[in-house]
Amino acid sequence: MKERKGFIFDLDGVLVDTAKYHYLAWKRLAEELGFSFTEEQNERLKGVSRMRSLDILLEIGNIKASESEKNEWAARKNEWYVEYISNMDASHILPGATEFLVEAKELGKRLAIGSASKNAMIILKNTGLFPYFDAVIDGNKVTKAKPDPEVFLLAAEELEVDPTLCVVFEDSEAGIEAAKRAGMAAVGIGSKEHLSKADIVIPSLKGASCKELVKSL
Ligand code: BG6
Ligand code: MG
């Protein structure tokens, strides 16, 4: 068994309950554009960058758009999303997440955020989660979106931990693929059906023992 020293967490849907706000904002845009958008379809957008998410949404709605329309729509979605998260506080931290981070710290792990979101920093600050992390890699620091492994490789580099000794916690298919492409272990947070490529899948961090979990990787 390898000793996993670097723990890299996706933010939206793993540590904080923001995935629903992304969904609500995209759904609102879809409805404005005249089509409906389901939660099942939304699985394809999880973990994916803002512009790539918009492309997938427009493909679902069968809508062709110019670059300027796309920029305008992405900005509109983000305005709604930022409005939804503006009142965020520690109550939006997902059950078990804080306890898990505390245990990981006590075990001497190095912790990083590996998120596609350009809004990650505001969420970390509003929820009080920021001080737990030794590195934060977000959508402002990467050039390639998940499933590209760039975000996780940069996180490992900042943590100064070899990628093969890192473990990623992710709720998206794209993120699990990115972790595996980075040569890391992947813990899926959610359903086995959506995250079949993960090394282990748990429904949430609630009740999860960090020590026990890494033993099985
Ligand atoms: C990811 C979310 O964390 O960040 C995606 O899972 C989102 O749904 C992506 O599209 C980009 O977020 P933002 O905040 O930069 O639009
Ligand atoms: Mg996520």
Atom of ligand 1 nearest to the CA of 139: 15
Q: What is the DSSP string of 8-67?
A: EE--BTTTBTTHHHHHHHHHHHHHHTT----HHHHGGGTTS-HHHHHHHHHHHTT----H
pLDDT digits (tens, 9 = 90+) for 47-72: 889 999 999 999 999 999 999 999 99
Percent of the chain having pLDDT more than 90? 92
Query: Residue with the nearest Cα to atom 8 of ligand 1?
Result: 46
Q: For ligand 1, pick from 8, 37, 42, 53 the residue to mutate: most ligand atoms within 8 Å of CB.
A: 53
Signed CA dihedral, 172, 184, 186, 198: sign only: positive
Whether residue 5 is predicted with pLDDT greater than 90 in this model: the reply is yes
Helix (H, G, I), strand (E, B) or coil at 140: coil
Quote the pLDDT of residue 42.
Answer: 94
**What is the average per-residue pLDDT within 74-94?**
95
Asked if 12 is an active-site residue, the reply is: yes
Is the C-beta atom of 116 inside 6 A of ligand 1? yes
Is the C-beta atom of 22 inside 6 A of ligand 1? yes
pLDDT digits (tens, 9 = 90+) for 156-206: 999 999 999 999 999 999 999 999 999 999 999 999 998 999 999 999 999
Residue indicated by tokens 């990623």: 168
Is the C-beta atom of 117 inside 6 A of ligand 1? yes
Whether residue 78 is predicted with pLDDT greater than 80 in this model: the reply is yes
Quote the pLDDT of residue 87.
Answer: 87
Quote the pLDDT of residue 132.
Answer: 98
